[in-house]
Amino acid sequence: MAIRAGTNLLSMFGARSLASNSQGLATSVERLSSGLRINRAKDDAAGLGISEKIKSQVTALNQGIRNANDAISMVQTAEGSLSEVSTILQRMKELSVQNRNDSLSTKQRKAISDELVSLKSEINAIADRTTFNHLSLLKNAIGPPRLSDEVVGVANGVDSLRPGSVLANGLKVTEVGVDTAEIGRYELTVGSPGTPISVSSHVTAKSDPTEGRIPNPAPPQFTNNDFENSGSVTTSTALVQVNGPAGATTTVTVQSIPGWDVYLQQVKLGTTEIGGFVSPSVTNNPGTIPPNGDENTPGSATYSAGFASTVTAAAEGVSAVLNSNMTTAVGYDVVHGPYLISTGTVDLQAGDEISFKWRANYVSDDFDVYGYLLNTSDGSTIELLKATGTRTSDVVPGTVNGTFATADPVTVLAGQEGNYKFVFVSGTYDKSGFRGAGAQMVIDDVNVTFAARAGETQVYTGGTTTAAKLTVSGEWEAGDEILYSVKGDTSTVTTLTYVVTAENFTKNNDGSGGAIDPDSDLARQNIAQSIADQYGDLTTSSPTSSAASGIVTFAGASVTITAEQLNRPLLQRDVTFSQADLAAGNKLTLSVGGRDYSVITSQGMTASSVAGIFEEKLSKDYPGSISVSDETLTFQPGSQTSDAEISLTVQTPSQFQAAASFASYVDNPSDVAQADRRIVINDRDLIPGRELAVSIGSPGTATTYRVRVGTGDTSSTVAERLEALIDDNMGSAIGPSSGSTVVSNVITINAATGFGMSNISLGLREVVDYQASGTTSQVSPRARDDTARTLTISQADVIDGAIFSVSIGEKEYAVQIDSSDTADTVAKRLVSLLQVDYPNDDTGTRIALDANRISFTGTALLGLDDIGLAVVKPENANALTLSMLDDYGNRVSSQTIAIDGGVAAGDTAEAFFSDYGVSLKLQNIDQSVFDASAAFSSTKLSAAMEVKNFSDAGIFQIGSNVRDSTGLPALGDIRITGRNSSGLSYAPAFDKLYEAITAVGLDSIGPTDSDIDEKLEVAIDEVSTEVARLRSQMGAYINSLQFGISGLGNSVIELQAAQSNIADADYAAEMSRMVRQQIGQSSAAAMLAQANQLPNVILSLIS
């Protein structure tokens, strides 16, 4: 081998090998120490890309698992609350069934109603409290808010605020951001909210007196109802029946004051005659030891009475006092007397309410008192008071001894109308049995609150010293008319008409002081004062007039006043029933003002009989407002129903099922083989809509006779119809049973037919579902009053810079007033806007202009409540105001943002309303510099929007991709408020439950209304079904999430394994590689040392 000194190639080879082995060793040490095969990109560039992507996916999936667990926690929170709601609904169901019992008293039914309202409130409270991470779960759908497509306002011809809306003649909305907005309704207004100005302009109507609604002032009270006019008590005697009409007579002392008589005698209830009729038989005091009733005459008795203010607190004034003191005949007796009776009668109608104050206490042993109304025509009575005890507080807890208790008001029901006298009977109960007894009863302030008598004219008459009074009651509007006639000492009758003005609805009754509520005492006082002033200005003769507290008083002799209130005339509504809709089993539902009234038809019903049934049902809620003529049901003109929403639906049965059990039966009364067979129909089986079928004959050839149960049917009517069907087929073999042991609900099959028990069978089936059917019955449309409306613009409202607006329905017509305007020019400019929507054409004139008066003719069909007026002075034209609205469109709160310097043509501006989380981008596409006031002359400067949640209550991300998400179906709003805001399918069920609970509260006086109770039970069942469905939906969602979590976990494991194969170090291979690198490094070092010795060989040769 040649030896060269120039280049030591062997040394270079050794050095390179040493460096390579050292680098490989370092890599092996790095991998073994980190556990990773790829520590930097150069280790495996492709592998690093794959590994990092897998690692990112694993990270996202792990977060997805946490998100899913959060979703489960949230849904479980909501489901837990719904579980409690289910429990509350079960209690509601229990109460609704209990409420069907006619054995309950008024107070007990009121307690049930109160508990239902309390339970409803608790459901609402649960919805309010159920939150997760500050998100409401059961009162609003959660999730990202979005703009609703629903039209919620009309502004500048734009349906709602959204990208593309144009405001103020050139300010265009380019973007609307609501990602963080509060759910609700909003209105965007150009400019700061202006200051409303008191408006003296007004709208009036000239009404047709023949079509008026007449809610009367309260009719006159009966004479001396508070006993204040006691005067001098006169004493006389009267011959009365002691033991009823056929009994003995006796002479008793009678004490009298105006309007009342007191009979100082014993009263044997059920025997003694009072007011010409036998008194009611009342078992008032069973006591712990059965008393001897009114049949015993006491051994000695003293009856007295008085009318004085010393018997009670001075604040009560004069009261009537009835006293008794006696020795009873045998002990434990009840002895009644004396009694107080009104001398005059009072005409009571359905809806009138009676109240009075009373107290009683013992003189010796207990009191036992009774009060009632006596119908002077037929002797029927209405109970007012029935009480027994030692003191009044025994009957009315909390009453301080010696003070009055106010009796529970008694309402006159339909069918109880008539002329009545008041009767109050004092009495005592010998509770101790020691035979000494006595008591005192005190009566005061006997009042009647009269219900409105639509269509009547009230007449007031006064004596020589009595002033006549005209009471202003109810709510009035400008343009309403009050007609009144006054007759003084002479035969002259002064008849005047007062037209209510807009000024009556201002504080000072002259257009100044600011507006007041038309339904306020001050408004009624203003009207009364104006009537008094009008009469005083136009007449100079007696009587004189004055006003106070809404009552006009005409002082003088023999005054007669007739008053009529003509208020917003409305036409009558007719419902005409067609015989074609009355197939047996059909369900007719008449909806009036949101409440349903149903009738199920049966064989033989006619259109007129159905109309009569509906009249009976409706008259309970609308006494005096409903009438029937043949097949037509009429809602009277001007009644509270004539302007209500009325609809009629007809449904036919679509599904049936056999009744699980029934009480009707077939039997053999004599247990003899050949005998009469009886079919007994039980009232318990007569649920409207059910079909009752009787089969008679041999099996396979039997004839079946079917009768459908209708509304109002009884066991007798059903039996009669069945008998008629069977009689048509079998002839005289069958006949209605007769004899003392048979009732009208029994059909007897005569023994001569030879039918055995097996030849006669009875069955019932009931309807489980109905389907809609076409109807030929009709409801007349709700007609607008065709009275003309006149808008008078006052010069006082013509203010420079102000905006004068007229609102009709949801649309507003506005003009900005400048310094050159007058009331006439403002009216002219408004007419030019109004005629776009109310043109004068071939069909007639809709709008006419006369100076400052704009007249809407009858063809415009506008009611007074359709037209609104406003005058506003705008502020800060270069500003935007966003207002949140309530459900009725009223502003709840507002935020204003100024646009400094305006917006130049073509430029954009941004506005962020931080109070609500709403952002806007706007562009000036028109004006040189945006100035809102330039647009005030022709446009409405607002637009509306609604921010809602839609199909999903929440979106939960459970992966790294957009598609790796799941949506929780919307939970919405479970509050029972009557206006459920969720917009979901179950919302009507919750609203129906609200209406049903409200109806039960209104129905808690008097016997139960089965329709109301049925509606309540159905509503509870529907809501329970919806709540159960929501809980099932949540359970299914939780289960799906749990399966999803399991799947995500499996994916994470597999992906981590794949990522490990790529990125993690193989310790066995790396250890082998490291040992090899170590050996190579040692060998390379040794060889390098040897190669570095070669130059020494050359030196040795040279030397």
DSSP string computed for 688-726? TT-EEEEEESSTTT-EEEEEE--TT--HHHHHHHHHHHH
Task: Tell me what pLDDT residue 516 has.
Answer: 86
Average pLDDT of the segment spanning 1034-1061: 82
Higher-confidence residue of 950 and 118: namely 118
Residue 347: band (very low, low, confident or very high) from pLDDT cuts 50, 70, 90: confident
282 and 255 co-located in one domain:
yes
Supply the DSSP symbol for 213.
Answer: -
595 and 673 co-located in one domain:
no
Tokens representing residue 763 in the block: 């069955």
First to last CA, the chain: 20
To the nearest 5 percent, what fractions of the chain are helix, strand and coil? Answer: 30, 35, 40
Q: Is residue 1092 part of a domain?
A: no
pLDDT tens digit sequence for 764-783: 887 777 777 777 777 776 55
pLDDT tens digit sequence for 254-271: 888 888 899 999 898 888
pLDDT tens digit sequence for 129-162: 888 877 777 775 444 556 665 544 333 333 466 7
Q: How far is CA 239 from the centre of its chain?
A: 58
Average pLDDT of the segment spanning 232-259: 72
Domain boundary among 769, 799, 819: 769
Pairing of strands 184-196, 942-948: antiparallel
Q: Is residue 763 part of a domain?
A: yes
What's the total number of domains in the chain? 6
941 and 959 co-located in one domain:
no
Instruction: Report the C-alpha gap between 30 and 10 in whole angstroms.
Output: 30
Owner of token pair 């202006």: 194
CA distances (Å), origin 585, targets 96, 604, 657: 26, 11, 14
Q: Is residue 1077 part of a domain?
A: no
The CATH number of whichever domain residue 247 belongs to comes to: 2.60.120
Higher-confidence residue of 214 and 262: namely 262
Q: CB neighbours of 677 closer than 8 A, spacing ≥ 6? A: 666, 667, 668, 748, 749, 751, 755, 757, 760
Average pLDDT of the segment spanning 372-389: 91
Residue 338: band (very low, low, confident or very high) from pLDDT cuts 50, 70, 90: very high
Q: How far is CA 703 from the centre of its chain?
A: 51
Q: Is residue 1085 part of a domain?
A: no
Q: Say whether the peptide bond before residue 338 is cis (omega within 30 degrees of 0).
A: yes
Query: Do residues 119 and 997 touch, judged by C-beta distance below 8 A?
Result: no
Query: Do residues 965 and 143 touch, judged by C-beta distance below 8 A?
Result: no
Task: Tell me what pLDDT residue 319 has.
Answer: 86
Task: Tell me what pLDDT residue 737 has.
Answer: 40
Instruction: Report the C-alpha gap between 808 and 831 in whole angstroms.
Output: 13
Task: Tell me what pLDDT residue 740 has.
Answer: 28
Domain boundary among 617, 632, 653: 653
553 and 598 co-located in one domain:
no
Instruction: Report the C-alpha gap between 757 and 745 in whole angstroms.
Output: 19
Instruction: Report the C-alpha gap between 863 and 854 in whole angstroms.
Output: 15
Instruction: Report the C-alpha gap between 73 and 954 in whole angstroms.
Output: 13
Instruction: Report the C-alpha gap between 93 and 1021 in whole angstroms.
Output: 8
Please state, for a pLDDT cut of 90, what percent of the chain lies above it. Answer: 4
Average pLDDT of the segment spanning 509-538: 83
pLDDT tens digit sequence for 279-290: 998 765 654 456
306 and 414 co-located in one domain:
yes
420 and 328 co-located in one domain:
yes
Task: Tell me what pLDDT residue 365 has.
Answer: 82
Task: Tell me what pLDDT residue 424 has.
Answer: 95
Asked whether the predicted pLDDT for residue 221 surpasses 60, the reply is no
Query: Do residues 881 and 895 touch, judged by C-beta distance below 8 A?
Result: yes
Locate the DSSP E strands across 681-837. 691-696, 703-708, 734-736, 746-749, 760-773, 778-779, 789-792, 803-808, 811-816
Asked whether the predicted pLDDT for residue 814 surpasses 90, the reply is no
Owner of token pair 């004539």: 642
Owner of token pair 């009571």: 348
Domain boundary among 566, 596, 628: 566
Residue 205: band (very low, low, confident or very high) from pLDDT cuts 50, 70, 90: low
Average pLDDT of the segment spanning 491-500: 72
Instruction: Report the C-alpha gap between 470 and 486 in whole angstroms.
Output: 10
Q: Is residue 284 part of a domain?
A: yes
- Which of the residue ranges 37-41, 288-292, 333-337 would you say has the lowest mean pLDDT? 288-292
Average pLDDT of the segment spanning 73-96: 87
Residue 835, amino acid: Q
Task: Tell me what pLDDT residue 206 has.
Answer: 44
Residue 491: band (very low, low, confident or very high) from pLDDT cuts 50, 70, 90: low
Q: Is residue 300 part of a domain?
A: yes
Query: Do residues 625 and 641 touch, judged by C-beta distance below 8 A?
Result: yes
Asked whether the predicted pLDDT for residue 34 surpasses 80, the reply is no
Residue 930, amino acid: F
Instruction: Report the C-alpha gap between 125 and 741 in whole angstroms.
Output: 59
Task: Tell me what pLDDT residue 179 has.
Answer: 67
Average pLDDT of the segment spanning 658-675: 70
Average pLDDT of the segment spanning 633-639: 75
Average pLDDT of the segment spanning 26-32: 77
Instruction: Report the C-alpha gap between 656 and 658 in whole angstroms.
Output: 7
Q: How far is CA 79 from the centre of its chain?
A: 26
Rg of the chain on CA atoms, in Å: 45
pLDDT tens digit sequence for 874-886: 666 667 788 887 7
Task: Tell me what pLDDT residue 262 has.
Answer: 92
Average pLDDT of the segment spanning 844-854: 78
DSSP string for 412-462: PPTT--EEEEEEEEEEEE--SSSSEEEEEEEEEEEEEEPPP-TT--EEEE-
440 and 360 co-located in one domain:
yes
Residue 648, amino acid: L
477 and 549 co-located in one domain:
yes
Q: CB neighbours of 1043 closer than 8 A, spacing ≥ 6? A: none
Average pLDDT of the segment spanning 951-972: 60
Task: Tell me what pLDDT residue 456 has.
Answer: 36
| Entry field: residues in the chain | 1103
Supply the DSSP symbol for 357.
Answer: E
Tokens representing residue 747 in the block: 């059909």
The CB density around residue 800, as the number of other CB atoms within 10 Å, is 11
CA distances (Å), origin 771, targets 449, 590, 768: 45, 16, 11
Q: Which of 212, 276, 211, 225 is nearest to 450 (CA)?
A: 225
Instruction: Report the C-alpha gap between 199 and 515 in whole angstroms.
Output: 8
Tokens representing residue 390 in the block: 């030692």
Instruction: Judge residue 450's burial from the number of C-beta atoms within 10 Å of its C-beta, 0-12 exposed, 13-18 middle, 19 or more buried.
Output: buried
Instruction: Report the C-alpha gap between 1019 and 976 in whole angstroms.
Output: 11
Q: Is residue 1037 part of a domain?
A: no
Supply the DSSP symbol for 314.
Answer: G
276 and 354 co-located in one domain:
yes
269 and 388 co-located in one domain:
yes
| C-alpha dihedral, 1080 to 1086 to 1087 to 1093, nearest 10° | 170
Name the average pLDDT for the chain: 74
660 and 648 co-located in one domain:
no
Residue 1029, amino acid: R
Task: Tell me what pLDDT residue 743 has.
Answer: 61
Determine the structural domain holding residue 320 and report its residue range.
Answer: 234-449
749 and 813 co-located in one domain:
no
Please state, for a pLDDT cut of 70, what percent of the chain lies above it. Answer: 72
- Which of the residue ranges 607-611, 826-830, 1081-1085 would you say has the lowest mean pLDDT? 1081-1085
Asked whether the predicted pLDDT for residue 808 surpasses 50, the reply is yes
Residue 612: band (very low, low, confident or very high) from pLDDT cuts 50, 70, 90: very high
Higher-confidence residue of 943 and 632: namely 632
Asked whether the predicted pLDDT for residue 784 surpasses 60, the reply is no
pLDDT tens digit sequence for 416-452: 888 899 999 999 888 888 888 888 899 988 888 766 5
Instruction: Report the C-alpha gap between 574 and 579 in whole angstroms.
Output: 16
- Which of the residue ranges 12-21, 216-225, 681-690, 986-995 would you say has the lowest mean pLDDT? 216-225
Instruction: Judge residue 758's burial from the number of C-beta atoms within 10 Å of its C-beta, 0-12 exposed, 13-18 middle, 19 or more buried.
Output: exposed
Asked whether the predicted pLDDT for residue 371 surpasses 90, the reply is yes
Pairing of strands 184-196, 867-885: antiparallel
pLDDT tens digit sequence for 267-326: 988 888 898 899 998 765 654 456 667 778 888 888 988 887 644 444 467 888 999 888
Tokens representing residue 644 in the block: 């209500």
Q: CB neighbours of 879 closer than 8 A, spacing ≥ 6? A: 190, 191, 192, 896, 897, 898, 899, 932
Instruction: Report the C-alpha gap between 1047 and 125 in whole angstroms.
Output: 38
Average pLDDT of the segment spanning 48-61: 80
SS3 493: strand
Residue 94, amino acid: E
Query: Do residues 1052 and 64 touch, judged by C-beta distance below 8 A?
Result: no
Residue 532: band (very low, low, confident or very high) from pLDDT cuts 50, 70, 90: confident
Task: Tell me what pLDDT residue 167 has.
Answer: 66
The CATH number of whichever domain residue 751 belongs to comes to: 3.30.70
Task: Tell me what pLDDT residue 1008 has.
Answer: 53
Give the bridge partners for 771, in sequence order.
Answer: 652
Task: Tell me what pLDDT residue 401 has.
Answer: 60
Average pLDDT of the segment spanning 537-555: 72
Asked whether the predicted pLDDT for residue 225 surpasses 80, the reply is no
Q: Is residue 678 part of a domain?
A: yes
Instruction: Report the C-alpha gap between 527 and 517 in whole angstroms.
Output: 13
